[in-house]
């Protein structure tokens, strides 16, 4: 899944997928766990493998409403007179012994009586005036019986360490009577924005000032990613306040995320401050938007140093950098198994000049009006234009120096995959 960014003409930029894999490999799981109830477990990551305490199902039970019988008894009835109904077995009943020469009315989930070897759906059964059953169609021994342990055997792994706990996995745990699980501790993230022009939403704006949307956005994204956030606010465009903020973050957080000040302008201080602290690993990824993405450590890189992710100041670039690069690093810190990027091919519904020197992630909506998806631009593609990002269904990936031609196919990455 290479976008051929290795052919870029801009020197020093990492291929976006190489950068992503590098961050996944660099993310070290936290060495801290806690026990939570199932009600608290949604979105958390298992710290240890859970072993099944029960067979599932616990007994042979009926897969549907119908009649449980011994096939040989039904086949042996003289003149096709059928079998009398001698038992009624609802879900939750004990295990009964099926009388010879009769059958049992049984309901979904009810234990199959000992001696029965088939359950016949009620739709295939008619009762005569004597209350004997008569069956339409062929019969196969074992049909419609859920066997004890056919899903899970007691003592086998139920969920392995590193599993992301979604609704289905939590339901699986609950079905075995498990109420608490051991999970990895939440990642503590110190979050800050840089920029003298930034002000908080809700305050009066003067000419030249900009509302800080990045920090608001990242607070939401970090919460969805099950992180605890230490919001350090807006830090002035100056080395000393940045050093002070980083000093505090280093003692209070597992990871630092900052936005803005990471480019190469005279007022961009994040990169030189990280370089002074000795921990810049890379700066610049061959993607548009998001090129100024940087990664490093608050001190010279070591296993005990606090990692830092510097996202671009333009909000769409910050969002793309979060989705493709920062989020998988956090997942690695959480101990989650890395998930491959979801992508498929769609046709473009527009023409556009291709990117120069970088892969471009166009914000697009899918038009299904003709039965197959066609990508249409969601709006303006500037890295400052959140309106298109808020409407987009996904990203159309365009290789460097490749024009977009209406009707041609391109890789498409749905945005929904970045929600968890």
The CATH code of the domain that includes 270 is: 3.40.980.10
Number of domains in the chain: 4
172 & 39 share domain? yes
322 & 252 share domain? yes
Q: Please give the backbone phi and psi of residue 330, each rounded to the nearest 5 degrees, phi first.
A: -65, -40
Q: Domain of 366: which CATH number?
A: 2.40.340.10
pLDDT of 211 above 70: yes
135 & 216 share domain? no
Q: Distance (Å, rounded) from C-alpha 52 to C-alpha 177?
A: 10
Residue 295 lies in domain: 5-31+186-334
Which pLDDT tens digit goes with each residue over 12-54? Answer: 799 999 999 999 999 999 989 999 999 999 999 999 999 999 9
For the chain, first and last CA: distance in Å?
Answer: 22
311 & 202 share domain? yes
94 & 230 share domain? no
Looking up tokens 């995959």, which residue turns up? 417
Say how far residue 40 (Cα) sits from the centre of its chain. 17
Which pLDDT tens digit goes with each residue over 314-327? Answer: 999 999 999 999 99
210 & 305 share domain? yes
- Output the six-digit token pair for 111: 């234990």
pLDDT of 335 above 60: yes
Does the residue 285 lie in any domain?
Answer: yes
Q: Which of 313, 334, 355 is the last residue of a domain?
A: 334
Q: Domain of 176: which CATH number?
A: 3.90.105.10
pLDDT of 268 above 60: yes
Does the residue 339 lie in any domain?
Answer: no
pLDDT category at 2 given cuts 50, 70, 90 is very low
190 & 178 share domain? no
249 & 374 share domain? no
65 & 139 share domain? yes
Does the residue 200 lie in any domain?
Answer: yes
DSSP 326: I
pLDDT of 375 above 60: yes
Torsion of CA 266, 267, 268, 269, to 10 degrees: 100
219 & 307 share domain? yes
45 & 123 share domain? no
Q: Domain of 98: which CATH number?
A: 2.170.190.11
233 & 313 share domain? yes
């Amino acid at each position: 899944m290479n976008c051929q960014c290795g052919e870029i003409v801009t020197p020093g930029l990492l291929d976006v997928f190489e950068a992503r894999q590098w961050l996944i490999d660099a993310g070290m799981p936290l060495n801290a766990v806690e026990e939570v109830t199932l009600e608290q477990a949604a979105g958390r990551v298992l710290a240890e493998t859970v072993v099944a305490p029960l067979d599932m199902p616990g007994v042979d039970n009926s897969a549907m409403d119908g009649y449980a019988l011994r096939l040989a008894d039904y086949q042996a009835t003289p003149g096709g007179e059928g079998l009398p109904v001698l038992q009624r077995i609802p879900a939750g009943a004990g295990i009964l012994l099926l009388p010879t020469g009769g059958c049992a009315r049984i309901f979904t989930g009810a234990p199959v009586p000992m001696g029965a070897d088939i359950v016949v759906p009620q739709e295939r059964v008619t009762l005569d005036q004597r209350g004997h059953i008569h069956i339409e169609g062929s019969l196969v021994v074992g049909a419609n019986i859920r066997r004890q342990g056919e899903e899970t055997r007691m003592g086998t792994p139920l969920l392995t360490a590193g599993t992301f706990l979604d609704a289905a996995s939590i339901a699986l745990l609950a079905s075995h009577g498990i109420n608490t699980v051991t999970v990895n501790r939440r990642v503590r993230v110190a979050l800050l924005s840089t920029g003298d022009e930034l002000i908080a939403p809700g305050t009066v704006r003067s000419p030249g000032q900009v509302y800080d949307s990045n920090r608001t956005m990242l607070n939401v994204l970090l919460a969805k990613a099950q992180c605890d956030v230490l919001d350090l606010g807006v830090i002035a465009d100056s080395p000393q306040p940045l050093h002070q903020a980083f000093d505090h973050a280093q003692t209070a957080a597992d990871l630092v995320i900052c936005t803005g000040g990471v480019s190469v302008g005279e007022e961009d201080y994040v990169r030189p401050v990280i370089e002074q602290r000795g921990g810049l690993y890379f700066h610049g990824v061959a993607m548009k938007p998001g090129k100024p993405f940087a990664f490093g450590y608050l001190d010279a890189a070591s296993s005990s140093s606090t990692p830092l992710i510097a996202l671009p100041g333009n909000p769409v670039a910050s969002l793309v950098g979060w989705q493709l690069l920062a989020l998988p690093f956090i997942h690695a810190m959480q101990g989650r198994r890395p998930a491959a990027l979801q992508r498929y091919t769609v046709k473009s519904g527009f023409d556009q000049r291709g990117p120069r020197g970088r892969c471009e992630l166009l914000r697009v909506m899918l038009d299904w009006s003709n039965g197959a998806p066609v990508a249409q631009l969601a709006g303006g593609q500037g890295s400052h234009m959140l309106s298109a990002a808020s409407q987009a269904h996904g990203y159309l990936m365009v290789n460097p120096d490749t024009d977009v031609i209406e009707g041609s196919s391109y890789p498409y990455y749905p945005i929904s995959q970045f929600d968890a």
